[in-house]
Structure 1
Amino acid sequence: MVVEVVVMTEELNDDHDVVVIGGGPAGLNAALMLARARRSVAVVDAGSPRNAPAAGVHGMLALDGTPPDELLERGRAEVRGYGGEVLAGEVVTARRERSGLAVRLADGRAIRARRLLVTTGLVDELPDVPGLRERWGGDVLHCPYCHGWEVRDRAIGVLAGGPMSVHQALLFRQWSADVVLFTHTAGPPTDEEAERLAARGVDVVDREVVGVEATEQRLTGVRLVDGTTVAREALAISPRMTARAGFLADLGLHPVEHPAGVGQYLPCDELGRTEVAGVWVAGNVTELSAQVGNAAAAGAATAARINAELVTEETDRAVAAGRSPFSAADEARNCELVLGNRRHGL
């Protein structure tokens, strides 16, 4: 007996108006707008949100403190409620086809669309200091607007590691009177920076950091290269931020260095268009400092612009068809005549 084995790849041969790559706040809000505009839209999400370690999303009106996974699940349900698709998968390549654009997933599935909206966000590259990764998103943090309230009035350290470190220390001074800037390997601040830090009561420790000390529940200190420890209850860092966009290489689209020197991003115009026709971006993949609310708003705005572009394209096509010397009815009659002649051997 021969058993035929059929491998199901779930090849998606139907075309979509828009494929959104990335299912975070920017991508889901864009998909929601497009689905409500009666566009066929599919969201492909790899399931690795940047803010997964955080206990809650903050600074979102009426949603402050909502756990990130709960916010995304609610967003996915809303998109599906309007007929949009939300697919679990990782996009590995994107290419141009005669009919538009196509993306291929790691499991072999392919999806085609007239437009691509990339909302894959970014990856935080943490400083190479033991102990930071394990506490990232808790008492090792980055954004004061996202987590400053949660560490207010605590002993806060700021680990220098980028061009914005002094600014970051001065920002955290708004949430606590006890802030220490660790220069680590960045070297001492300039005279002007030192004056500004001193004016706000921010101490500077000009030594390399080699680790953090903590109990299971909380951070307790920052360990220096000379063996001493400075007691701290929270540590702010400046990770290098890199756009998740390697899958766009076949389209000739690559992340570039951000002008502020904080990482790599995908440039676009003020509407969200990239230099590659049909490919749009929104959220942290192009705006590295965007919070959840900003990213969601950008997704909605970019979705509206994509829909407007598609409407214009469809209208232009309809106008061109109306100006054609042959109407649709004429074309149908001509086809019937040709088929009839073939049947009669003419």
Structure 2
Amino acid sequence: MTDERNDETLDALVIGGGAAGLNGALMLARSRRTVVVVDAGEPRNAPAEAVHGLLARDGTPPAELLRAGREEVHRYGGRILNAEVADAVREPDGFAVALADGRTLRARRLLVATGVVDVLPDVPGLAQHWGHDVVHCPYCHGWEVRDRAIGILAIGETSMHQALLFRQLSDDVVYFENGHALGAESRERLAALDVPVVADRVTGVESADDRLAGVRLEDGRIVPREVLAVATRLEARVVGLASLSLPLEELPGGMGMTIRADAFGRTEVPGVWVAGNASNATAQVGAAAAAGALAGAQLNADLATEDADRAVERRRRAGAPATAPVA
């Protein structure tokens, strides 16, 4: 995007260039809307080797999927801008979005598809294995870690859900309570599934040749493990969007914070839609893309109504009859 277009008022500005943002932009561009995607280049699934659970694209590297998506948006006249949003404010006819590089873009509508940040437990050594030997989703990574020595690092009773799902994939699963004591019913279930429960707190993880090798406990013991499954706290990315006062809501069980929106992606802030993980933290790539398409279509329909209303006003100012003559 060139500087001489900075004074243009876009139909829609999409903030975030992942599956949701790109698919939303695709729907808008195919509807002949002027649309720009602003992407900071920090996709949530960047550490992963491949996307899974996506029909006809299972096993595709995330970067390849985004490259193909960008090409499709370009094909219909949409534009991609590699930049970060510093601020976004409402104006009488839409929004002004200031970028970190000093430029300002204006748009009639916004689609927020910024995704979420995975906040890992504060365990030394954990982050360096994220997306490889430290995973969170059995549907995203489970097949790849099947039959390996898996540990479940608890962040609360909700980690039992992970334990049951990963136990389907391996006979060698250990549950680390890590200060989050299980209830009697959960303990009985794990016992029935031959999953040992370790009560000691986890103080770190051990590595060997850049691979996860074990879990270090408070008493100094090391439990050999090849994979750790941990439920992260999911925080919607809202950096640079504070001025919009987007409505946030806490997820059950302390799972995180997302942007509140209706089933079509419309937020309580007029003119702002949201799609993907930013409003549905557990959506996989396919669901996020579908949400982007739905939000893009709804946003376009809103613009179409506004376009018609503006045409009516122009017609009235010109003194034209309320009803056009029948040909």
Quick check: 2:51–2:62 contact (8 Å CA) kept in 1?
Answer: yes
Gaps of 5+ in 1: 1-7, 329-346
After superposition, residues 194-273 of structure 1 pair within 5 angstroms as 194-273=187-266
Deviations 1:163-202 (A, max 9, x none): 520111111111112111101122x200111112222222
User: Which stretch shifts more, 71-80 or 309-318?
Assistant: 309-318
* CA apart distance, 1:316: 2.8
After superposition, residues 87-106 of structure 1 pair within 5 angstroms as 87-106=81-100
> What is the distance in 1 between the residues matched to 2:5 and 2:123?
44
1:335 aligned partner:
none
Quick check: 1:93–1:104 contact (8 Å CA) kept in 2?
Answer: yes
The one of 283, 291, 298 equivalent to 2:276 is 283
Matched to 2:285, the amino acid is V
Alpha-carbon spacing, 1:109–1:232, altered in 2? closer, same or farther (3 Å): same
Matched to 1:68, the amino acid is P
> What is the distance in 2 between the residues matched to 1:146 and 1:181?
20
Secondary structure at the aligned position of 1:129 is classed as: coil
Matched to 1:185, the amino acid is G
Matched to 2:220, the amino acid is G
1:81 aligns with 2:80: no
Quick check: 2:154–2:176 contact (8 Å CA) kept in 1?
Answer: yes
Quick check: 1:223–1:230 contact (8 Å CA) kept in 2?
Answer: yes
Quick check: 1:163–1:262 contact (8 Å CA) kept in 2?
Answer: no
TM-score w.r.t. structure 1 length? Answer: 0.89
> What is the distance in 1 between the residues matched to 2:308 and 2:196?
63
Deviations 1:133-184 (A, max 9, x none): 1110001111010000000011110100145201111111111121111011
2:309 aligned partner:
316
1:159 aligns with 2:153: yes
Aligned residues: 320
1:327 aligned partner:
320
The one of 31, 34, 39 equivalent to 2:33 is 39
Deviations 1:264-298 (A, max 9, x none): 11001111111100011000001011111111111
TM-score w.r.t. structure 2 length? Answer: 0.94
> What is the distance in 1 between the residues matched to 2:12 and 2:110?
6
Quick check: 1:245–1:255 contact (8 Å CA) kept in 2?
Answer: no
Matched to 1:102, the amino acid is A
Quick check: 1:267–1:286 contact (8 Å CA) kept in 2?
Answer: yes
1:53 aligned partner:
47
Quick check: 2:247–2:267 contact (8 Å CA) kept in 1?
Answer: no
Runs of 4 or more, structure 1, over 3 Å off, are: 8-11, 319-325
> What is the distance in 2 between the residues matched to 1:81 and 1:162?
47
Secondary structure at the aligned position of 2:37 is classed as: strand
Once superposed, what is the RMSD of the aligned Cα atoms? 1.7
1:127 aligns with 2:127: no
> What is the distance in 1 between the residues matched to 2:195 and 2:302?
51
The one of 116, 141, 144 equivalent to 2:138 is 144
Matched to 1:70, the amino acid is E
> What is the distance in 2 between the residues matched to 1:268 and 1:165?
27
User: Which stretch shifts more, 113-122 or 217-226?
Assistant: 217-226
Matched to 1:258, the amino acid is L
Alpha-carbon spacing, 1:162–1:279, altered in 2? closer, same or farther (3 Å): farther
Quick check: 1:183–1:207 contact (8 Å CA) kept in 2?
Answer: yes
Query: Could you tell me the percent identity over the aligned residues?
Result: 60
Quick check: 2:41–2:82 contact (8 Å CA) kept in 1?
Answer: yes
Deviations 1:94-146 (A, max 9, x none): 10111211111001111111110000001111111111111100011110100
Secondary structure at the aligned position of 1:276 is classed as: coil
Alpha-carbon spacing, 1:227–1:316, altered in 2? closer, same or farther (3 Å): same
1:343 aligned partner:
none
Secondary structure at the aligned position of 2:265 is classed as: coil
* CA apart distance, 1:323: 4.8
Deviations 1:223-260 (A, max 9, x none): 11111111111000111111001322212225332234
Matched to 1:51, the amino acid is N
* CA apart distance, 1:327: 3.3
> What is the distance in 2 between the residues matched to 1:40 and 1:19?
9
Secondary structure at the aligned position of 1:247 is classed as: coil
Alpha-carbon spacing, 1:130–1:312, altered in 2? closer, same or farther (3 Å): same
Gaps of 5+ in 2: 322-327
1:331 aligned partner:
none
